[in-house]
Structure 1
């Protein structure tokens, strides 16, 4: 898929972002997002139920692993800022497969904390009527706050689609999907 060394992260549900300056740079770093403006530098995050986000800019790209703790900590804004600091503010974002609100039953106390930061749009309920978290609404709010309003979302749910995705929340599975992004190298 991409011949250069990949930058994999040791994800910790925080807001740390690494800037990758060479293919494979920062591999193994403890972070939840990576950005680059280097052609051929492949960035990767892994997710099951958390939200993978790809940030797209002219001559720059970033990937974000947004779990609820990282979302509250500010990982989305930190990644947008890091890419902008490279001179490439993102103009678009793509949201990948993640657990959707209808399947994400969530504790009331933690839901209050997320809603305190990202507003009531993150509040949802499951079909059974229990409190749920709408992570995608939170990510969209974080992107908008950071100035990124062009957002693509295929609506894929890891909990609902056991044929294609893993879900720890729904099925206790520990597998992950890799979300990768890179800038093409221009021929010589």
Structure 2
């Protein structure tokens, strides 16, 4: 049975959405559960069945649950009609004002962020890892929504499960890159167990960028993908274990 997480903020505003977990899928082995990753090496039939279950939960047909070819960019694209998996745009965020299209992103440690303007009825979804966030993918999503009639002062955002600071060890060059962008970014790093390997606060960084952008409200679901293997896939956990591949969660919203 599917057991997606939901944002109370988006629920109160009346938006159908889900941050899907591993629970309720048919994938096996490394992908056990609800793997929605079109780019994974999982059995395509299992991925298709998983995605059909997600689409049904959101109240749309499988062909209307849309994903991108994600490239860790700051590119946000408008969506006006469904596409097939072979022609999905290379980008990391989507926006739409069209009813019946479930726009979603795949993650396995990066930050899934869902957006909505309740008055303009415009929605967005962004895949925000450190590279995309630093490059401005959240702001690009907001710009795309505003092009469709939304206003930042009305936009709600929900942050889904992602890698927490406790498990996000980085190297000194990583921290230096953020400090070079803005010295105030030092607040998103803290010393870890290994000297010279600080820990990065991705959820805190995403929240700060959204607050600076001037949106109406932010809901952080505060779940760590690395810490909870039962419910979440994790690229970093896969890397630490030397596993060949990993599953991807889908976070999606629909008008």
Q: Scaled by the length of structure 1, what TM-score is found?
A: 0.89
More strand by share: 1
The answer to whether structure 1 residue 174 and structure 2 residue 231 are counterparts is no
Q: Among 166, 191, 215, which residue is 1:125 paired with?
A: 191
Contact 1:105/1:126 (8 A) holds in 2? yes
Name 1:94's counterpart in structure 2: 158
Aligned 1:58-137 pairs, distance under 5 A: 58=118, 59-90=121-152, 91-117=155-181, 119-126=185-192, 130-137=197-204
Contact 1:121/1:138 (8 A) holds in 2? no
Name 1:138's counterpart in structure 2: 205
More helix by share: 2
Task: Supply the distance in 2 between the matched residues of 1:140 and 1:149 (Cα, whole angstroms).
Answer: 12
Secondary structure (helix, strand or coil) at the match of 1:84 reads helix
Name 2:75's counterpart in structure 1: 16
Name 1:54's counterpart in structure 2: 114
Secondary structure (helix, strand or coil) at the match of 1:80 reads helix
Secondary structure (helix, strand or coil) at the match of 2:72 reads coil
Q: Among 219, 230, 238, which residue is 1:163 paired with?
A: 230
Secondary structure (helix, strand or coil) at the match of 1:166 reads coil
- Provide the alpha-carbon RMSD of the alignment: 1.9
TM-aligned CA deviation for residue 154 of structure 1:
1.6
Q: Deviations over 1:85-142 (max 9, x none)?
A: 1101352110000000010001111122124336223213335564011111111121
Task: Supply the distance in 1 between the matched residues of 2:128 and 2:103 (Cα, whole angstroms).
Answer: 15
Name segments (4+ residues, structure 1) moved above 3 Å.
23-27, 115-118, 125-130
5+ residue gaps, structure 1, are 184-188
TM-aligned CA deviation for residue 149 of structure 1:
4.9
Secondary structure (helix, strand or coil) at the match of 1:152 reads strand
